């Protein structure tokens, strides 16, 4: 599956008034369910939480990439949220996570979530790209940055 086909700007949430990782997972799962990508938001949140217990998905510079394979995911998708910083979600460098890319793939999608995670992580290695993403004001700007960046 092509990376850009996983980007639906209806799944990009800006200025989230949420404080915790649980609220973040719930907000994005509700968005994905409303837009037809999930059959059960509660189950997907549990799948995300189970994955998160293995190790934190916060990477660096305020970026998080939670991801899960789940039988409630209808088709592969990437959701995004920009927050003011979550008080219980830290990146590897200790910064509070504020920009989140959530990868959701069907349970039988083999290694698609790992391939997508790897591609997204490579793209986010650029300090310039991370800076641009944090400044994006809407879904169209975000999608443009993501589709035009190298990686």
| The 3-state secondary structure of 111-130, one letter per residue | CHHHHHHHHHHHHCCCHHHH
Can you list the alpha helix ranges (DSSP code H) found in the chain?
A: 21-34, 41-54, 112-123, 127-135, 139-148
pLDDT at 67: 93
| In contact, 54 and 67? CB cutoff 8 Å | no
**Gap between the Cα atoms of 86 and 98, Å rounded:** 6
pLDDT at 138: 92
The phi, psi pair for 104, rounded to 5°, reads -125, 125
| In contact, 43 and 72? CB cutoff 8 Å | yes
**Gap between the Cα atoms of 116 and 94, Å rounded:** 24
Domain extents for the chain?
3-146
Q: Give 91-149 pLDDT, tens digit per residue.
A: 888 888 889 999 999 998 877 777 888 888 888 888 888 889 889 999 999 989 988 76
Domain 3-146 has CATH 3.40.930.10: yes
């Amino acid at each position: 599956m092509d990376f850009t086909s996983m980007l639906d700007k209806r799944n990009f949430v800006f200025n989230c008034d949420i404080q915790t990782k649980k609220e973040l997972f719930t907000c994005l799962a509700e968005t994905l369910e409303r837009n037809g990508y999930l059959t059960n938001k509660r189950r997907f949140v549990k799948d995300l939480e189970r994955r998160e217990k293995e190790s934190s998905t916060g990477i660096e510079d305020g970026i998080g990439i939670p991801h899960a394979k789940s039988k409630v995911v209808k088709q592969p998708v990437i959701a995004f949220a920009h927050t003011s910083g979550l008080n219980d979600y830290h990146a590897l460098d200790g910064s509070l996570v504020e920009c989140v890319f959530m990868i959701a793939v069907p349970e039988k999608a083999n290694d698609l979530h790992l391939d997508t995670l790897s591609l997204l992580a490579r793209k986010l290695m650029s300090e310039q790209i991370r800076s641009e993403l944090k400044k994006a004001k809407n879904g169209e700007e975000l999608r443009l940055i993501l589709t035009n960046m190298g990686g």
